[in-house]
Amino acid sequence: MSFRRKLLLVFSVSVALSVAAVAWLVQEVTRKAFEETENQRTSQLVGQFQREFNRQGEEVTRRVENIAASETVNRMGAALNGTSADSAEYFDLARSLAESHQLDFLELLDSRGMIVSSAQWAAKFGYPEPAFQILSPSAQQPAFLKLEQLQDSTALGLFTVRTSAGREHPVYVVGGRRLDKTFLSTLNVAPEMRVLLYQNRGETFSADLLVNASASSRDARAAEKLAPLVDAVRRSNQEMSTPVRWSSDRADEEIFHAIPLRGLGENRPLLGILLIGQSRRNYVQLSRRIKDAALLAGAGGIVLALFLSGWAAARVTRPIEELAGAAQSVAAGSWDTRVQVNGHDEVSQLANSFNQMTTELLAQKERLVQAERVAAWRELARRLAHELKNPLFPLQLTVENLIRARTQSPEQFEEVFRESSQTLLSELANLKGIIGRFSEFSKMPQPQLQRVNVNQVLRGVVQLFQAQLNVPGKPAIECRSETDESLGTIAADPELLHRAISNLVLNAMDAMPQGGKLTLLSRREPQKVVIEVADTGTGLTPEECARIFTPYYTNKQHGSGLGLAIVQSVVSDHGGTITVRSQPGKGTAFVIELPERPELLAEIAESRAQHAGEPVRN
């Protein structure tokens, strides 16, 4: 991955993470703010419910007290005097008193708890009140909650108990009002909130027991959705909250707070459940707006990151790319390459250091070239002196013998002259051969590049030496070829390449006097072709490997020392490299790496087309 893409990725991820973090933080702050607002509104509505409960309780208490203090009730108490023998005449009294005092419930009980008159269910006349043991001690207490049994249903109401003035046989007046839609409608409920009341009767949840101040189409679904919450409160008898989703849309969701309503008695039975629902539509819509804004900001940030990364990458990578290009030029041999230095930042310092490095490299190269040139001349002079010394010494002796024969024995001069002439001619021929080898090495021809198939060259070399590998009477040498048939053609001189590989094969054969294995292989690597010639011969020491390509260096008894130098010269003229790896006793491998150079192949094809008079095809 390029630096530009990495920079873009870093910018994009940074922007995305920043936007996501801000969006999450805003979401959390918004959620907590909405939850705090919901709790405050719930608390306010519960407080309002309690105040309304107390207000209406006081009003019910006042009306019941007026009934208990009325002359009619006192006369009834005096007439009954602790019995119910003549109570039939009071059968409709509770109904008329309830209507006149605007009460929904009213029952008159004697001192024994028998119902003398009932406004809500007249047929209860003469029956005992089941809750008399709980109601009688509450004669002076404030209003309380009570689940009243009606003829065909039940009703949750706000009740008060008061007694008449008679102390020995008082009349108990139990009156109250319903907790129904009318009561709930008196509450000041916010538009996004609503209040429901569930009457706790029976073992299972029933939609008929749910009272809603504002009937709507959603109320029909409320029974099914609210059942789990009601059942949970009935089991735990504690306040609970839970979200209720009416549809797949999160905006159509409400948070319901369930508050248990208890009655009188030691166990304080659960008589009802106050359900306060708050719509989350505003929160969900705001949350969606935050997400949309985050996505929009993220998209804008990424676009901005594209421009910023492009600008930053251009500002940072352009000098680096120039440095990389200059480094490649230096690697290609252009030692005097320089890069322009702009500014005083780190990249400029790097460019300045690069220029200093190339200057020093160029100076070191020149010194190295001079040193190598001097060393080469010294080595050439040494080798030339060594090569010429051998034939010159016989020449000197031959001339001295001629002079001695001329002066001392004229009669034998002719015979000595003939022998000396043959010696002189032989040594002169030797000198001529030495000079010829020097001349041959100094006049290595330049490669005539053309399309060459490396595998065909290898097969030609193997075929050339096939007879020498299996000479009768000598240890056989096994030859194995491993060629990569996917290799294409390269730009090379086939004759020079054949000569170089032949020299390597000859060296390998000389290194295996006891026989062995010779391996020739070819393979493709990125932008180059590799040729390897390996043997299982005597091997070379590290010192010999370091000097193996030096002209006139040889470890053979009759070697000229020019074979591997010629191979290196051919490979170098082709723009390639040759290396050697060897271990004493384990064999030697020479590795040639030649560049493919497709641009030269294109030039060769163009040149052939021009010479043939044909158009060049791309």
Flag whether pLDDT at 84 surpasses 60: no
- What tokens were used for 363? 């100076």
Please report whether residue 187 resides in a domain: yes
Q: Is the pLDDT of residue 294 over 50?
A: yes
Per DSSP bridges, beta strands 270-279 and 253-262 are: antiparallel
Does the structure show a pLDDT above 50 at 122?
Answer: yes
In the prediction, which pLDDT does 171 show?
A: 87
pLDDT score of 215 more than 60: no
Three-class secondary structure of residue 569 per DSSP: helix
- The stretch 413-437 carries a mean pLDDT of 73
Is 91:125 a contact under the CB 8 Å cutoff?
A: yes
Cα distances (angstroms) measured from residue 158 to each of 102, 142, 144, 164, 606 = 13, 10, 6, 20, 109
pLDDT at 617 over 60: no
Domain total in the chain = 4
Q: Are residues 400 and 264 in the same domain?
A: no
pLDDT value of residue 372:
64
Q: Above 80 in pLDDT, residue 555? A: no
Q: Please report whether residue 314 resides in a domain.
A: no
24, containing H or E segment: helix 3-68
Residue 461 lies in a domain: yes
Asked if residue 380 is part of any domain, the answer here is yes
Please tell me the pTM assigned to this model: 0.49
What pLDDT score was predicted for residue 380? 63
Angle formed by the axes of helices 563-573 and 494-510, nearest 10°: 150
Sign of CA dihedral 342, 347, 352, 357: negative
Q: Do residues 3 and 317 make contact, with C-beta atoms less than 8 angstroms apart?
A: yes
Q: Which of 155-169, 442-456, 515-529, 599-613 has the lowest mean pLDDT?
A: 599-613
Which of 27-36, 434-443, 564-573 shows the highest mean pLDDT? 564-573
User: Does a structural domain hold residue 326?
Assistant: no
Q: Reply yes or no on whether the pLDDT at 519 is more than 50.
A: yes
- Residues 6 or more apart from 59 whose CB is under 8 A from it? none
- State the pLDDT at residue 533: 94
Q: Which residues contact 519 (CB under 8 A, 6 or more apart)?
A: 479, 480, 481, 482, 532, 533, 534, 535
pLDDT value at residue 290: 79
Place 556 in a pLDDT band, splitting at 50, 70 and 90. low
Q: Is 38 contained in some domain?
A: no
Q: Are 496 and 445 in contact (CB under 8 A)?
A: yes
Distance between CA atoms of 581 and 248, rounded to whole angstroms? Answer: 75
Q: Which of 168-177, 340-349, 510-519 has the lowest mean pLDDT?
A: 340-349
- Among 31-40, 170-179, 285-294, 599-608, name the one with the lowest average pLDDT: 599-608
My answer on whether 563 and 549 are in the same domain is yes
For range 376-388, the mean pLDDT: 64
> 328 lies in a domain?
no
Please indicate, yes or no, whether residues 387 and 466 belong to a single structural domain of this protein. no
Of the residues 149, 179, 209, which one is the last residue of a structural domain?
A: 179
Residues 461 and 556 both lie in one domain:
yes
What CATH number does the domain containing 230 carry? 3.30.450
Tens digit of each residue's pLDDT (9 = 90 or more) over 39-80: 888 888 889 889 999 999 999 999 999 999 898 888 888 877
Which pLDDT belongs to residue 164?
86
Q: Would you state the structure tokens that stand for residue 455, as one six-digit string?
A: 């595998």
Of 397, 415, 442, the residue at which a domain comes to its end is 442
Mean pLDDT of the chain: 80
540 and 554 both lie in a single domain: yes
Report the pLDDT value the prediction gives residue 138, as an integer from 0 to 100. 72
**Torsion angle of C-alpha atoms 460, 464, 468, 472, degrees rounded to 10:** 100
**Residue finishing a domain among 223, 250, 279:** 279
The answer on 592 and 454 residing in a single domain is yes
Residues 224 and 136 in one domain: no
Query: Stretch 507-527: mean pLDDT, rounded?
Result: 89
Same-domain status, 162 and 194: no
Top-confidence residue, 382 or 265: 265
Q: What is the pLDDT of residue 470?
A: 81
Report pLDDT for 616: 45
**Cα 576 to Cα 591: distance, rounded to the nearest angstrom:** 10
Does residue 534 share a domain with residue 437? no
List beta partners, residue 272.
Answer: 199, 261
Provide the domain limits for residue 463: 450-612
203 & 172 share domain: no
For the chain, what percent of residues have pLDDT higher than 90?
A: 13
Burial class of residue 368 (count of CB atoms within 10 Å of its CB; 0-12, 13-18, 19+): exposed
pLDDT score, position 102? 92
Q: Does the pLDDT at position 535 exceed 90?
A: yes
Same domain, 255 and 362: no
Maximum average pLDDT range among 94-108, 265-279, 588-602 = 94-108
- Is residue 601 included in any domain, yes or no? yes
pLDDT at site 264 = 82
pLDDT tens, residue by residue, 198-214: 888 878 888 778 888 76
The reported pLDDT for the residue numbered 217 is 45
The answer on pLDDT for 126 being more than 70 is yes
Whether residue 605 sits in one domain with residue 456: yes
